[in-house]
Structure formats: C-alpha cells, structure tokens
Amino acid sequence: MIARTWHGVVPAAKADTYHAYLLRTGVPDSRATPGNRGVYVLRRLAGDEAHFVITSLWESLDAIKAFAGEDIDRARYYPEDAEYLLELEPTVTHYEVLTAPETGAV
C-alpha cells in the first residue's frame, strides 16, 4: 500500500470553508478512484494560517496514476483551489505503508 501526502496552507478565516470545499472535490474524487483505500484530512491552526495535510491510501502506483495522472509526484489541483490556498505547492510525497490497522499490514 502507498500513502500519498499533500500539504496546503489557507488563511485561518477560510479554514472551515476550505474543508467543506475539499469534501466536495478532492476527497470524493480520491475515494471514487479504483484502488483508493481511504482519505484522511488533517488540519492545524497556526496563528492566521490553517495547514491542511491530506493523506490518501492506495493499492498501487497504477491506482495513483488513475487519480493523479502519469506524473504521480505532481500535485492535483481544482479550479477554485487558488481562491483559498496561499501557495499551490507543486508536488506531493509518497510513502510505502508498513503498518496499517485497517489492512493488517505489518
């Protein structure tokens, strides 16, 4: 299993609205892609900024390609993201999942 992790920062005043936007766009798109094993949305408020980390779990690199395109290290953005995010970070990070309670991986 592979974890795909993305980070973005929005003004704290837009944090709840951005979360709702994620629940309408990237989260359901990820979940609807064959091979997706789950999506976690994390948020940390730091002063006037809200940091979001989205970690999605995938069965394979091919499943990630079905969601992200051929260049799996490139971040996938939606049209309204620029209205929220302070910067469009160009890349994501992938990790091999060694332990996950849902799958029994050790």
Banded model confidence at residue 80, pLDDT cuts 50, 70, 90: very high
- Tokens representing 50 are 């809200």
Count how many Cα atoms sit within 13 Å of the Cα of residue 54 in the half-sphere of its side chain: 24
Residue 57 scores a pLDDT above 90 = yes
Task: Report which of 87, 85, 103 is spatially closest to residue 22, judged by C-alpha positions.
Answer: 85
Higher pLDDT, 103 or 1: 1
**Which residue do the tokens 């260049």 mark?**
71
Q: Is 55 within 8 Å of 39 (Cβ atoms)?
A: yes
Nearest Cα residue to 55 out of 10, 14, 105, 100: 100
Handedness of CA 63, 42, 95, 37 (dihedral sign): negative
**What average pLDDT score do residues 37-59 get?**
97
Please enumerate in sequence order all residues whose Cβ is within 8 A of that of 106, keeping only pairs 6 or more positions apart, or say none: 98, 99
> What is the pLDDT confidence band of residue 106, given thresholds at 50, 70 and 90?
very low
Please give the class, per CATH, of domain 2-96.
Answer: alpha beta
Average pLDDT, the chain: 94
